[in-house]
Amino acid sequence: MRMHCDNKRLWALYLFFLFLAVFSNNRDSMLNRRTFLKTGVASLPLAAAIKALPEDVVLAGESIADVAGDGATPKLVALPPRLAPIDPNTLPWQQNIRRVGQSNMTEHDPAVMNIEQWADYWHAAGADIVFISVTGILAFYPSKVKFQRPGKFLNGRDFFGECVAAAKKRGMRVVARMSPDLNWGDALDAHPEWAMRDADGSVQFSNEEPRLFRTCMFTSYMDDYVPAIMREVNSLYDVDCFYTNGWPPIGSLPDCHCAICSRLPPPNTAAYWRIFNDRVLELWHKYDAIAKEKKHDSFYFANLGGNVRCGPNLDLLGKTAVWFQADNQGRTYDDPAVWGCSLQGRVCSAVMDGKFAANVTAAYSTGIVRWRNASKSAREAKMWLNETLASGMALYYHFIGSEAGLGEDRRWQEVGSDYFRWSARHDAHLKPRRSIANIGVVIGQSTQLLYQGPAAAHSQHYMRETTHGIYEALLAGRCAFDFVHEDQLDLARLTKYRALLLPNIAMLSDQQCEQIRSYVSAGGSMMASFETSLYDENLKQRSQFGLADLFGISKAGDVIGTNGNAYYGRIERAHPILAGFANTNWIPGAQNRVPVKPVQDPVLTVVPGFVQYPPELAYPPVSHTDEPAVVLREMGSSRLAYFPGDIERTYWLTGQTDLLRLLHNTIRWICRDESIVQVEGQGFVELFAWETTPGYAVHLLNYTNPNAHHGWLDSAYPLGPQTVSMRLPAGVKVKSIQLLRAESSIPFQLKAERLRFTVPQVEDYEIAAIDVE
Ligand SMILES: [Zn+2]
């Protein structure tokens, strides 16, 4: 093993190498960041040592290759024929936007913000468009709309108009930003019907500013007040489009008991969700028409996000929105992992079909405790921007308030402008045409919003944990995957996928079950878990799984949870999904399971759970049953795997490496080891592979970091060589491969359509941009 380092760094490098070995995606030593942190005693000094590691230390190529090269020849599937080129001039203007800037304006900004500095900053950074606040609770211009009161520091000025003029003078487009979610007491006195109300009739007020009440989206507030502001802005200014902050709700549905809402179906039911979606679309179309009253290419868009838990139906939004605004600004307490932005990007990619999506990166301090006017760490902000690009969205950088001219804290500014300017040099490669992934993960949006898990584990976080479990497993397995929305399961969309994964997609309609049957009849493979298809689209429980026939399963009883020691899967016979499990008769099951009837020749059978404390009782009273712990099937070229346990979520809760191995083995088995792109090397990375206009782009996000699962990134821990293999369509030749972060070209081999090249180093992010002819 040779290393590029001096003696002083040898100890740190040794520890780093250990770290890499622990986090490797090597099939024999799979561990992940969380598991590692939870192993306790050993982790602390190592993590501290890693933190102390200089950022410029990289392992030599030879040493990585020794570890990573397992000699296995990937079964690469040829990429589909390339798409016909598109002239960007024929696209709607917003589809050519690559950089969005926003200094979110406060009431105080008219007194303190330096408009010239503001416009110069965003212009020099290369922003194509900036957000300028109109708002709804106070006006940034002399407004005649009743209840839109002038800000305290406006003093008759047309602050909005001055900002619009400064942006336009520099060639930047303008989004007029409104915010309809709150309003003041005088509006409430005049229009008590505008307020959201609790079940006892009391008005719902803002938690932080009790003088502001929460407005109800079903009332004339949205029909009259918001359009009045839009029309006034359109009459006075040259804006390019309109946006509403604060509506519709993100990640949950409203719970309002006003006069109108009390006549609607109960909140958090499928029936309510349908009416909610209808209302969102009604208002969206109405506002869009108002935007177009002045300019035909203007449009309206709303604040969205919440990844797979988006409030409005994502399929309908994808068909309606021309700008998906992903308000997913940083990690949260509920979503603490580093991949929060790319998870959102995969959702946008699933439903927008190439239309514009931008993810908002907060340059300010996000988290459960917030500082809206202080910068977050540069590493964390940059990783969010990296994820934005990698997952196919446009960059969007956001700070709040311009005290002292353009912020008391200006550390965020160079971070954003440097990143924007770097990206502008590579726009052609950074804008995807389509994903080339061959695994589809079904987004069960109704399950995410309405189903809260089995009685044994009832929680609004239940599905969130499921999502992170499958997501982490796919990252650790370096899988190229897409999300597929539950309302888009038509065969035409699914045929590109070798396998569909259904991580506890509890709610599926008869029609959706039929679409999945068609996919399998056409040769597609599937992996599903737990209560998948046990409920219909109204969350009505079926007596039998909707997909029982497909998987060859039959429900034998109600969900069984864990009281102490969870159940095991006893190994009954050898099978590829059990590769690597030696020297044990059983492996862990999951926290909860649906008991299913015996099947012929099972691979794993359930050893029911028992007491974990006191240890005297920690043994199985029943050590062998014929209840299957997995049901496997082969039909033609399809392979099907069903786990009766909530295996993905249990993996997220525990980091149990056997569960990860079982998931990886099973995904490989159902895919018949076929992959569309292989990236071999050390480290915990997220991978994206796109067809682009010039060729292809393989994005590697390096999450090998002590802060991958919690908190912010503060340093990068560079990875050594990553070897990429893909099989190009017949006749496609490679002109060059460039690394966009390193800004250098690398050699490649192309033999019989098989392209192979090595990215020598990945600091936090690297993109291999492949130019073809
Ligand atoms: Zn209401």
Distance CA 56, CA 715 (A): 11
Indicate the length of the chain as a whole number. 773
Using the mean position of ligand 1's atoms as its centre, give its distance from the Cα of residue 259 in Å.
7
Using the mean position of ligand 1's atoms as its centre, give its distance from the Cα of residue 445 in Å.
23
Using the mean position of ligand 1's atoms as its centre, give its distance from the Cα of residue 278 in Å.
15
Which CA distances in Å does 84 have to 355, 497, 568, 569, 695?
17, 21, 52, 50, 12
Using the mean position of ligand 1's atoms as its centre, give its distance from the Cα of residue 541 in Å.
29
pLDDT for res 456: 84
Contact 98, 391 (CB under 8 A): no
For 581-621, the pLDDT digits (tens) are 999 999 999 999 999 999 999 999 999 999 999 999 999 99
Using the mean position of ligand 1's atoms as its centre, give its distance from the Cα of residue 732 in Å.
57
Using the mean position of ligand 1's atoms as its centre, give its distance from the Cα of residue 190 in Å.
17
Contact 755, 678 (CB under 8 A): no
Using the mean position of ligand 1's atoms as its centre, give its distance from the Cα of residue 485 in Å.
29
Mean per-residue pLDDT of the chain = 91
Residue range 448-454: mean pLDDT, rounded = 95
Contact 602, 644 (CB under 8 A): no
For 677-716, the pLDDT digits (tens) are 999 999 999 999 999 999 999 999 999 999 999 999 999 9
Using the mean position of ligand 1's atoms as its centre, give its distance from the Cα of residue 34 in Å.
42
DSSP assignment string, 434-497: EE---EEEEE-HHHHHH----GGG--TTHHHHHHHHHHHHHHHTT--EEEEETT---HHHHTT-
Using the mean position of ligand 1's atoms as its centre, give its distance from the Cα of residue 135 in Å.
21
* Percent of the chain topping pLDDT 70: 90
The CB-based long-range contact list for 544-547 (8 Å cut-off, 24+ gap) reads: 546/508, 546/510, 546/513, 547/508, 547/513, 547/516, 547/517
Asked if pLDDT for residue 15 goes beyond 60, the answer is: no
Distance CA 762, CA 700 (A): 8
Using the mean position of ligand 1's atoms as its centre, give its distance from the Cα of residue 243 in Å.
22
pLDDT for res 181: 97
Using the mean position of ligand 1's atoms as its centre, give its distance from the Cα of residue 196 in Å.
5
Using the mean position of ligand 1's atoms as its centre, give its distance from the Cα of residue 254 in Å.
8
Using the mean position of ligand 1's atoms as its centre, give its distance from the Cα of residue 221 in Å.
11
Asked if pLDDT for residue 6 goes beyond 50, the answer is: no
Using the mean position of ligand 1's atoms as its centre, give its distance from the Cα of residue 257 in Å.
6
Asked if pLDDT for residue 129 goes beyond 60, the answer is: yes
More confident residue, 18 or 269: 269
Using the mean position of ligand 1's atoms as its centre, give its distance from the Cα of residue 193 in Å.
8
Using the mean position of ligand 1's atoms as its centre, give its distance from the Cα of residue 598 in Å.
50
Residue range 618-628: mean pLDDT, rounded = 97
Using the mean position of ligand 1's atoms as its centre, give its distance from the Cα of residue 264 in Å.
9
- Greatest distance between any 2 Cα atoms in the chain: 81
Using the mean position of ligand 1's atoms as its centre, give its distance from the Cα of residue 192 in Å.
11
Residue range 644-654: mean pLDDT, rounded = 98
Using the mean position of ligand 1's atoms as its centre, give its distance from the Cα of residue 478 in Å.
45
pLDDT for res 262: 97
Using the mean position of ligand 1's atoms as its centre, give its distance from the Cα of residue 319 in Å.
26
Q: Which burial class, exposed, middle or buried, applies to 540 when counting CB atoms under 10 A from its CB (0-12, 13-18, 19+)?
A: exposed
For 707-726, the pLDDT digits (tens) are 999 999 999 999 999 999 99
Task: Give the single-character DSSP code of 28.
Answer: T
Element holding 413 (H helix, E strand): helix 411-424
* Tokens encoding 743: 């800004």
Using the mean position of ligand 1's atoms as its centre, give its distance from the Cα of residue 195 in Å.
7
Using the mean position of ligand 1's atoms as its centre, give its distance from the Cα of residue 291 in Å.
25
Using the mean position of ligand 1's atoms as its centre, give its distance from the Cα of residue 187 in Å.
16
Using the mean position of ligand 1's atoms as its centre, give its distance from the Cα of residue 216 in Å.
5
pLDDT for res 16: 44
